[in-house]
Structure 1
Amino acid sequence: MKISVIVSTYNSVEWLKKVIWGYNTQTYRNFEMVIADDGSRQETFDLIDELKKEVFYPIIHVWHEDNGFQKSQILNKAILACTTDYIMMSDGDCIPRPDFVEQHIKFREEGCFLSGGYHKLPMQLSQNITEEDIYSMKCFDVSWLKKNGMKASFKNNKINATGVKTSILNFLTPTTPSWNGHNASGWKKDILAINGFDERMQYGGQDRELGERLVNYGVKPKQIRYSTVCLHLDHPRGYATPESINKNKNIRKETKLQKKKWTDFGILK
């Protein structure tokens, strides 16, 4: 295996199923999947056991007991479970385009981490995408998506931009490259060097805080927003509380002001 793909999930079997199918379409096949499971019920175990028999790649299921939103904790456990020296992270609600892993392999570079993009779909379309739509790649056809409820937008370029166009759009985008939970990758040694995710952080910017410490450590963010993209399936966010968001903002502020590279609340306690 040349790359480990960490996919986070929590009690969302219908979305996770579509994501696992998406990785089964990948043009680059030398990867493992590590599922970071923040306390899902038995049906998630059953789904993973079933799909392990169907997909070409190995799946490692990392689980801990449900204790509220503890994504940072389970991601740190998943990082340790990765058997390769390069890690890509995405979510269990993001269907990867067939060249998703290939692009991360293509653009990876020592001393850098990659910051990719995603394209959010409306709820009805998220629900209606089928196994056949994923395996036939219809779900990455902009005209098909529009026929099925997606609005016209400049952002649709993220779905089908290729070649020189992606390079131009990556250069022109005003979006600052950051570590995004839905689409980012970096070297395991760099992530371990900053002690992984800050486990005090719950929903709201914990991924970006990891990236900010990587930058403070000297790792350069590399923009591939239009080179590699995934379809973000819609869902409610009941775990997004003002308290957790404000707490995380304060931790990120401290990281920036003090130029922190290390967290005392990460993999090593």
Structure 2
Amino acid sequence: MKTFSKSALIISTYNWPEALQLCLLSVLGQSVLPDEVIIADDGSTGQTAEVIEALRPMFPVKLVHVWQEDEGFQLSKIRNKAIATSSCDYIIQIDGDLILHKNFIKDHLSLSKRGTFVAGSRVLMNRELSEKMLSLRKSQVTPFQSGLGNFTNRFSIAWLSRYMADRYKTHDIFALRGCNMAFWREDLLRVNGYNEVFHGWGREDNEIAVRLLNSGLKKRAAKFAGVVFHIYHPEVDRGHCPKNEAYLTEALLNKTVYCGQGLHQYIAHVEPVRLTEREFAL
């Protein structure tokens, strides 16, 4: 497996501390840990901070809470702030409503390659299984248990993932999910990170993929690797999706590489080594 100076796991969350707790417990169960874990919090109440503080003593790596005021769904902005906070070479990105397979981090590091970014998928858990996992505070999922969908996404098979990485939908910008991606930090800096014109649910992950591809990178697939189990919840409001679709179409048509409102606005104001571990807010 490759080695890095540093790798960071960024976990986005909003007002679901019970799910975040399971996610963080599954991070603790990783066969290979990242060098730091950064919670990208889009305006949660104090309950989320309490969960993080309760788990902090259990973490053998730095656990950072990056928070911003709740001004509506601003996932792009909080991800940019979290990326700015990190000084790690490699950024692995997930959402806080996921339970990670024990080899999740190991798989992503194995798939990393200069000149590429990695896009994974997820396994959907039904409502019954999700409620059971939450009530029992259970952070381990077995691939054959009842209540799981997406059968082929449940398995971590190293040799098969290496074969599929450069063969599975490598040019399809819709064959990815922002809840399971990984990037070299220098590549995110090159394209100015996430585009903060995106408000509300949808397409910010596809748009950054378009700009990374336009910059000359290739997309690798985390297929039979980087396994995550998605805790059930009702669908979020998709009212902004038509506007976000228009932003994505614009990036495609204009072959955009760099967004105007992105990551660099925080880099100028952030010195990662000076941040407190509890919170960073702009």
Q: Same fold (TM over 0.5)?
A: yes
Deviation at 1:159, TM superposition (A): 1.2
Q: Counterparts in 2 of 1:6-17, with a 5 A limit?
A: 6-17=10-21
Question: How many angstroms apart in 2 are the aligned matches of 1:80 and 1:217?
Answer: 20
Match of 2:131 in 1: 127
Aligned residues: 257
Question: How many angstroms apart in 1 are the aligned matches of 2:121 and 2:6?
Answer: 22
User: Which amino acid in structure 2 is aligned with residue 228 of structure 1?
Assistant: G
Deviation at 1:56, TM superposition (A): 2.4
Match of 1:232 in 2: 230
1:252 to 228, 233, 248: 248
* Change over 3 Å in CA distance of 1:262–1:174 after alignment to 2: closer
- Residues 9-42 of structure 1, C-alpha deviations (whole Å, 9 max, x = no match): 0000010000000000111124211110000001
User: Which amino acid in structure 2 is aligned with residue 196 of structure 1?
Assistant: G
2:69 to 42, 65, 70: 65
Question: How many angstroms apart in 1 are the aligned matches of 2:125 and 2:177?
Answer: 17
**Pair 1:78 & 2:82 matched:** yes
Secondary structure of residue in 2 paired with 1:225: coil
User: Which amino acid in structure 2 is aligned with residue 159 of structure 1?
Assistant: R
Q: Which runs of 5+ in 2 are unaligned?
A: 266-282
Q: Counterparts in 2 of 1:27-176, with a 5 A limit?
A: 27-129=31-133, 133-134=138-139, 137=140, 139=141, 141-143=142-144, 145-146=145-146, 149-150=147-148, 155-167=150-162, 173=168, 176=172
Secondary structure of residue in 2 paired with 1:87: strand
* Change over 3 Å in CA distance of 1:172–1:196 after alignment to 2: closer
- Residues 66-90 of structure 1, C-alpha deviations (whole Å, 9 max, x = no match): 0010111111100101121110110
RMSD: 2.0
Question: How many angstroms apart in 2 are the aligned matches of 1:184 and 1:90?
Answer: 7
Match of 1:181 in 2: 178
TM-score by length of 1: 0.89
User: Which amino acid in structure 1 is aligned with residue 151 of structure 2?
Assistant: N
2:7 to 3, 6, 11: 3
Secondary structure of residue in 2 paired with 1:150: coil
Q: Is the 8 A contact 1:116 1:226 kept in 2?
A: no
Worse-matched range after superposition: 33-42 or 49-58: 49-58
Match of 1:21 in 2: 25
% identical aligned pairs = 29
Q: Is the 8 A contact 2:165 2:220 kept in 1?
A: no
Match of 1:206 in 2: 204
User: Which amino acid in structure 2 is aligned with residue 263 of structure 1?
Assistant: C
User: Which amino acid in structure 2 is aligned with residue 87 of structure 1?
Assistant: I
Question: How many angstroms apart in 1 are the aligned matches of 2:156 and 2:33?
Answer: 22
User: Which amino acid in structure 1 is aligned with residue 229 of structure 2?
Assistant: L
TM-score by length of 2: 0.85
Match of 2:187 in 1: 190
Deviation at 1:167, TM superposition (A): 4.8
Normalized per residue, the structure richer in helix is 1
User: Which amino acid in structure 1 is aligned with residue 121 of structure 2?
Assistant: G
* Change over 3 Å in CA distance of 1:7–1:161 after alignment to 2: closer
Q: Is the 8 A contact 2:98 2:229 kept in 1?
A: yes
Match of 2:215 in 1: 217
* Change over 3 Å in CA distance of 1:188–1:171 after alignment to 2: closer
